[in-house]
Structure 1
Amino acid sequence: MSIEPSLTGSVRGHLFTVDILIENDHNGRALERLLRLLNSADVKDYRIVSGIELGKTIEAALQAEGEQASSKKATAKTPGAEKQPAAKDKAANKPAPSETEAGAGLSFHDEIERYKANNTLIRMTIVKGKGIRLSLPCRILNFDPASQNVTVYHVDEKKVYLFSLSEIEDLQAR
Structure 2
Amino acid sequence: MEQANPQKRKYLFTVDILIEEESNGRALEKLLHLLNSKTIEDYNIKQGVELGKKIESALKDSIINKIKDNELKKKSAASAPPSDPYRHIWDKLTSYKECNSLVRLTVVKGKGIKLSMPCRIISTDPPSGNFTAYHVDEKKVYLLNINEIDDIQA
TM-score by length of 1: 0.41
TM-score by length of 2: 0.46
Bigger RCO (CA 8 Å, 6+ sep):
2
